[in-house]
Chains A and B, each alone.
Chain A
């Protein structure tokens, strides 16, 4: 009896595990299909390519050019990653290779807290500190005038947001490199810095790519904090001191309003689908890069 009931429980828990897994796998597919169906109306009326490459956004006239939003998103994301990645690599190297173990033990919960802060807090910080700093100090330094609500502000806020996230992964990456590899390099007469440069960074490379890739995906989708500081002006940005209007901000600011305008609803769904597609593409590319670099080690 006992045996039988245990066996049944065993079977039923397996059943639930499989169900959860299937739901998990289905979610992104359902999401994509849902978004696609919702954006069908606009896709049937206008060519997808035109929508991607046009920069006119006049919903009242039925003009939906996504280029300003896509380029704003790309600018903000890449700029933030360019700021965040070197900072994270250097910090991770310092914490794992130079600092005492205690320092790392103290830093880790702090990093976790930073990673868990609600993004609206970063947004407020951006409005209070970064935006004025850019309008009063950075822009005048280059002889420019801006309100401070710029691509640069968005990128700085975003980079601060993704740093704890990327840093956490990188610390793990460097920590799991076996000590013996360092010893092997030192014992043929390399200095510590040579060891880091030629051996550890090389060994960590796939991990660095994967951390950066995850950082990009995260930065690309981040909404509130960026929306608060980029200015939300529909225009293809040409410099970091221009305002921008990233895709997530477009959706968050407008969904649910003015849905009486024909195609507007469908256009916003398409924006979400594009966002989804780009994040997916980045994930795929970074995965490819990881596999390639792992093969070459």
Chain B
């Protein structure tokens, strides 16, 4: 198993509060890694530190290493926009940009790759097809994205992230605002996408984790309690806190 992201001794403070405590995990390439844990344990923070969105927090201090493709992105002199482009982000609720469906997908391409203007329509079409949205929107590409249904918006946001050719997909409870059918569509998509991408996803839904996880990280109060393959994690958890969580004690 080849690891794509290698997190070493990651500590994160906001003000005096320690949010992440000495996190050491490896996230395997071309697999779906699920981050589990009770509310407030730092899942979102861990996910956001992967593409340095934690830089936006006030009074934040980070130490340790996050190594992606042999480069420590926390201490890299590479441009932070280049680091972020490597990762597509899918939030808890869809946040389409205030523009048309077409422009939402084209946005990242236009910003980062201004030479290939001519290919933009093809790339937009390709990525909308990739998330199975093309047929639903091909006749109204230029109407505002906010008019789509929530499930469509979430797929659009996925297409927007994929359009800049990332290697990793970060998803923070991406189905929590969706109906069962749209949720299933996203899950199914992730299973297909892991052929090409490394997927890291936060979820609260144990059943969802069981359905799609290859690898699981279980967090509790800012620490990683246990991590391992999904099979091992669900059938043979080692830590007491994991067992309690799997029985539903923390929910």
Contact = CB atoms under 8 A, between A and B. Distances in A.
Interface in B20-77: 48, 51, 53, 56, 58
B5 interface: no
A188 B164 contact: yes
Closest 5 CB pairs of A and B: A188-B108, A189-B85, A187-B89, A297-B98, A203-B98
A190 B111 contact: yes
Nearest to A206: B98
Interface string A175-219: 000111111111111110010001100110000000000000000
B160 interface: yes
Contacts of A202: 97-99
Q: Provide the main secondary structure of the chain A interface.
A: helix
B111 A188 contact: yes
Given A181-B95, A183-B56, A184-B95, A191 B157 contact: no
Interface string B93-129: 1010111000000011001100000000000000000
Nearest to B157: A184
Interface in B172-225: none
A273 B164 CA distance: 58
B146 interface: yes
Interface of A: 100-101, 178-191, 194, 198-199, 202-203, 295-297
B91 A199 contact: no
Contacts of A188: 84-85, 88, 107-108, 111-112, 160-161, 163-164
Contact of B108 (A183, A190, A297): A190
Interface residues of B, number: 31
Contacts of A191: 81
B144 interface: yes
B82 interface: yes
Given A101-B58, A180-B93, 18 more contacts: A179-B56, A180-B91, A181-B95, A182-B56, A183-B89, A183-B95, A184-B97, A184-B160, A186-B53, A187-B53, A187-B87, A187-B161, A188-B111, A188-B163, A190-B81, A198-B107, A202-B98, A297-B99
A179 B87 CA distance: 18
Contacts of B56: 179, 182-183, 186
Contacts of A181: 95, 97-98
Interface string B139-154: 0000010100000000
A184 B88 CA distance: 9
Nearest to A201: B98
Contacts of B97: 181, 184-185, 198-199, 202
